[in-house]
Amino acid sequence: MNIEHIDLNEIKKMKVEMTRFMMAYKFALDEMNTKINILKDEFNYIHDYNPIEHVKSRLKSPESIFKKVVKKECSFSFNSIKETIRDIAGIRISVSFISDIYELSKMLENQKDIRVIERKDYIKNPKPNGYQSLHLILEIPIFMSDREESVYVEVQIRTIAMDFWASLEHKIYYKYNKEVPNRLVQELKEAAITATALDKKMERLNKEITAYKETTAVIENEEMLLKINKDQFHLPMNLIKSYIQNNK
Ligand code: 0O2
């Protein structure tokens, strides 16, 4: 290509557009992270319990976006990239228990400014390799100096055990350049079943502990009420005794 034919102004314009395009996704991630932090704090203050173990957010690199554009055969316009590649902004949340996944997703899905575009439940319907996670494509508005934009954010919610499995599977997948030997595929599937059994057992144990704590709290409350009643009953007696003592 002859260098004189390259229009520098066109390149500058493209660079500005690309920066604006990516910036919107960064703001969407900031917005979502704030929402998640508020839920985390509220849980801590009100329920004295925090289901969120880790939150990891990432912006897809321009190289990965480019690769996906080629793979999905979408055109190179910003509009078509936005509509086709909906995981440019991604958040992965690890929680303690399976029930936390659904509780947290409900809290996000019910927020007024969030629109649920897609929901894939790989927990109720795991992938054939054993992958489990709840995937949401959410659309949120972001407000800039001169405009408002709606941006897609992919949110993946899973338990720590599911996350542990997925990160190892991801490493193996790339180590074998996507051609994983059958024996490993089988072992990974077995590991996924073990992870599910662990998740279910932990959830059951947690329910038992919570029920025990609630019963103890009720007993403590009852004992406190009994003591208050007893004190109230004894109060006049004490007053009477001191009255008698003082008026001897
Ligand atoms: P990265 O680098 O993690 O972003 P899509 O290609 O996203 O439009 P797809 O495949 O239908 O369409 O999306 P899906 O099923 O919602 O999965 C998207 C993301 O989930 C993947 O992103 C992975 O992060 C994760 N994922 C899905 N399946 C598996 C799996 O079998 N194992 C593991 N470890 N992760 C999985 P990317 O873009 O592939 O990669």
74 located within any domain: yes
pLDDT value, residue 112: 96
Which phi and psi angles does 140 have, rounded to 5°? -130, 150
DSSP state, 46? I
170 located within any domain: no
Taking each helix axis as running N to C, give the angle between helix 160-175 and helix 182-246, from 0 to 180 degrees, rounded to the nearest 10.
160
pLDDT, one tens digit per residue, over 156-215 is 999 999 999 999 999 998 888 878 899 999 999 999 999 999 999 999 998 898 888 777
pLDDT value, residue 100: 93
Q: Find the angle CA(161)-CA(43)-CA(111) to the nearest 5 degrees.
A: 95
Query: Known catalytic residues?
Result: 154
Instruction: Point out the least confidently predicted range of 76-90, 147-161, 168-182, 234-248.
Output: 234-248
183 located within any domain: no
Band the pLDDT of 147: cuts 50, 70, 90. Answer: confident
Report the pLDDT averaged over residues 230-239. 62
92 located within any domain: yes
Instruction: Point out the least confidently predicted range of 49-53, 123-127, 155-159.
Output: 49-53
Report the pLDDT averaged over residues 8-34. 90
> How many of the other CB atoms lie within 10 Å of CB of 160?
17
Q: For residue 156, how far is its CA from the centre of ligand 1 (angstroms)?
A: 10
For the chain, the domain total comes to: 1
The protein residue with its alpha carbon nearest to ligand 1, atom 14, reads: 135
235 located within any domain: no
51 located within any domain: yes
219 located within any domain: no
Any ligand 1 atom below 6 A from CB of 120: yes
Residue among 94, 87, 97, 88 nearest 120 (CA): 87
Band the pLDDT of 105: cuts 50, 70, 90. Answer: very high
Q: What mean pLDDT is reported for the chain?
A: 88
185 located within any domain: no
Radius of gyration of the chain measured on its C-alpha atoms: 28
| Structural domain that includes position 46 | 3-161
Any ligand 1 atom below 6 A from CB of 152: no
Band the pLDDT of 234: cuts 50, 70, 90. Answer: low
Q: What percent of the chain has pLDDT over 90?
A: 61
Instruction: Point out the least confidently predicted range of 21-30, 36-45, 206-215.
Output: 206-215
Q: What CATH number did the domain enclosing 98 receive?
A: 3.30.460.10
Answer whether residue 146 shows pLDDT above 90.
Answer: no
Q: For residue 234, how far is its CA from the centre of ligand 1 (angstroms)?
A: 69
Locate the ligand 1 atom nearest the alpha carbon of residue 166 and give its number: 34
